[in-house]
Amino acid sequence: MSPLRRLALAALLVATPSLSACAKKENVVNPVEPMWRHHPSWAMNVVFHEPLATDPDLGLKTGTERSVPAIDPQHRRIFVGTSDHAMYALRATDGSAIWRFQTAGAVNSEGLYDDERDVLYFGSDDDGLYSVRASDGSLRFRYRTGAEVQRRPALSRSVKGKRVLVFCNAADSVFALDADTGATLWKRVRQPAQGLEIEGHAGVAVSGDRVYTGFSTGLVAAYDLETGADKWPAVDLAAAASSATEEQQQFFDVDTTPLVKGDHVFVANVTTGVFALDATGGGQQWRRPEATGVSWLSYWSEPAHVDARKGTEVAAHELVLAGSGTSGIWALDPKTGAVKWRKPAPLGAVSYPVTIAGALMVTTSRAGLYLLEPEQGDVLDGIESGNGFGGGAAAYENRAFVLTNGGVLLGIEVVPPTYNGTPKSW
């Protein structure tokens, strides 16, 4: 069997009270006779695993890799950053290199591919936001921000038709640039919280004429895309904490990129839980206080359809998914915040899930890569890379791409199970 080992899937997500308790049950997590040997799924197949080059001047390639690949389906290219101070362009068919762009710091940012201009935008820990030509990796511009840029930028058009690139850095600053020239359109600078944050910094979400983001101080803000003016007073998610919590807890940062769906903005504070805010005025719609330590938010939906096995109609489903290394993975009703299901935290950190073939693909820093059934959170399949994953996967149709902490890019194909020859829903 290859080094990409199949996991003992059911055992790894058994309810456990804490990560330390998980560690004590090592004989359950790594049984002598893996459970998949008797109950295989084999839904995920590794198409290629391509080690990315190490810069000889930097030496070891053993750092945590947080970059999520960006996909260009038209030209079958993928773009992924690495801790060896580089952004790579690779062929989606086999992972072979097209070009490598050198930066002055680790690239933990997910890239943003612009198919209109055939351009890639991405951030680096060297305080820069880069724009390069996707065809050959040549530099268009670099914009210095004064702090690490570790989240995916957003691209939109203002009401005047200008192409606007918006992003945040780790110093609680928000920037809007002319996407073609790199010229500053506006910026908003806040005083960051003192000390360390739990999980980097939040990114930006753009919806209509508004830019939403969160800060290390626990605030969530909405800005005008055209001018950067406040669209509503900043909302303090830390205000929901009790006085006892304030005395015991020093962390109130918002590390999650806001998730905008309809008239709701979903955000999370690491201490006070997950919130749904009114997108227009910022008022609180609901709060899930038990979901603490959340560092990512994601959205899953399934349209109404007919069950191929039963021939019955299945209603449309929507879920807001929240992930935490301490309180686990939460599936919440977007309208009410009610808990649909919850899975306790696996070993190590867990990334945000990506939808693929009707399922959810989730990476963990110590326990491998999982495929989950969305409606109940049950494990369908898994792969262990040997090094874990620091960043999430990216998916297009039934193909996913993910970078291991060993610096190996995996191309994974997901094959849904069938029922009487007809693909069935996960």
Distance, in Å, from the CA atom of 272 to the CA atom of 394, rounded to the nearest integer, reads 29
279 pLDDT more than 60: yes
Contact between residue 363 and residue 387 where contact means Cβ atoms under 8 Å apart: no
When mean pLDDT is compared across 30-34, 337-341, 348-352, 379-383, the lowest value belongs to 30-34
Distance of alpha carbon 295 from alpha carbon 268, whole angstroms: 8
Is the CB of residue 7 less than 8 Å from the CB of residue 36?
yes
pLDDT digits (tens, 9 = 90+) for 101-132: 999 999 999 999 999 999 999 999 999 999 99
pLDDT of residue 5: 55
Average pLDDT over residues 323-335: 92
pLDDT of residue 326 exceeding 50: yes
Binning pLDDT at 50, 70 and 90, where does residue 158 land? confident
Say how far apart CA 192 and CA 228 lie, in whole Å: 18
Alpha carbon distances (Å) from 232 to 151, 154, 283: 23, 20, 10
Q: What is the pLDDT of residues 75-85, one digit of tens each?
A: 999 999 999 99
- Model pLDDT for residues 292-306, shown as the tens digit of each residue: 988 889 999 988 878
> In whole angstroms, what is the distance from residue 30 CA to residue 27 CA?
5
Which whole-number Å values give the CA distances from 297 to 47, 198, 245, 255, 325, in the listed order?
A: 28, 15, 23, 10, 13
Model pLDDT, residue 60: 47
Summarised one tens digit per residue, pLDDT across range 218-271 is 999 999 999 999 999 999 998 887 554 444 456 678 889 999 999 999 999 989
